[in-house]
Amino acid sequence: MNIKVMSFNTQHCKNYITKKIDYNSIVDLIKKYDVDIIGLNEIFGKFIIKSQAEKIAKKLGYYCYFGKATNIAFRNYGNAILSRYPILNTEIIHIPYPIKIKKHYQKRTILKANILVNNKVLHVFVTHLGLNNDEKENGINTIVQNISNNNTILMGDFNMTPNNSNIDKIKLINTDKNNLTWPSIKPKYKLDYIFVSEDIKFFLSDTLNEIISDHLPCITQIRI
């Protein structure tokens, strides 16, 4: 069975061109590429009625889970998973602060969801790592301690390029090593990734030239 997986830093659903909150462009993107499982970064949580991720999921008819990482502007802020397939259970894994805490550090987390696809449980992890090297190292170490070795997808904005030595600690397959993702107009750096465990076959990995956020979305088709 083939399914499509996408990682996308949405910049809290703010359209990079119009500078306005734009759910429809993200919905249209997912529909256009017929994506089954999506990891979203920089998403606001519930405000009055629904989180941003829930609003997108409702338009798609998908399952959804938002995982808080921190508070920004008095609102929950973090990562989310959307899925065409049932989400069985979820967990928020907290990444510890470095020993020396700096004022500008944000709380970071890894969102885990077990998703039932064709009678197989996929372990899906979504994260958004910090900007500083000590934050990145803590994030990668926490990922390594918690990810599974089988039926696993790990994705998100890692805020590091492929030549960063921390990437080598992730003993999963990087589905797209080279395509640049940031900034979305004339990108210079690869910051966003999709990794899979060795038992998952992948093909047709790409970075999509779709300018919606300040990051370009990554997509990979896998066979399970």
Nearest partner of 14 among 166, 156, 163, 211, judged by Cα? 211
The whole-number pLDDT of residue 97 equals: 82
Q: Say if residue 163's pLDDT is above 90.
A: yes
The whole-number pLDDT of residue 35 equals: 98
Write the burial class of residue 76 (CB in 10 Å: 0-12 exposed, 13-18 middle, 19+ buried): middle
Q: Is the dihedral of CA 148, 152, 156, 161 positive or negative?
A: positive
What domains are there in the chain, each with its CATH number?
Answer: 2-223 (3.60.10.10)
Q: Is the dihedral of CA 155, 8, 4, 210 positive or negative?
A: negative
Quote the pTM value: 0.96
Q: 131-154, pLDDT tens digit by residue?
A: 988 899 999 999 999 998 999 999
Question: Mean pLDDT over residues 86-109, rounded?
Answer: 86
pLDDT band at residue 101 using 50, 70 and 90 as cut-offs: low
Apex 162 CA angle, 82 and 147, nearest 5? 45
Both structure tokens of 115: 């998703």
Answer yes or no: are the C-beta atoms of 67 and 109 closer than 8 Å: yes
Q: Say if residue 103's pLDDT is above 70.
A: no
Which residue do the tokens 């900034």 mark?
183
Q: 37-92, pLDDT tens digit by residue?
A: 999 999 999 866 689 999 999 999 999 999 999 988 778 999 999 999 999 999 99
The whole-number pLDDT of residue 155 equals: 98
- Alpha carbons 78 and 75: distance in angstroms, whole number: 10
φ, ψ dihedrals at 183, nearest 5°:
-70, 165
Both structure tokens of 101: 């805490």
Q: 169-206, pLDDT tens digit by residue?
A: 999 999 998 899 999 999 999 999 999 999 999 998 99
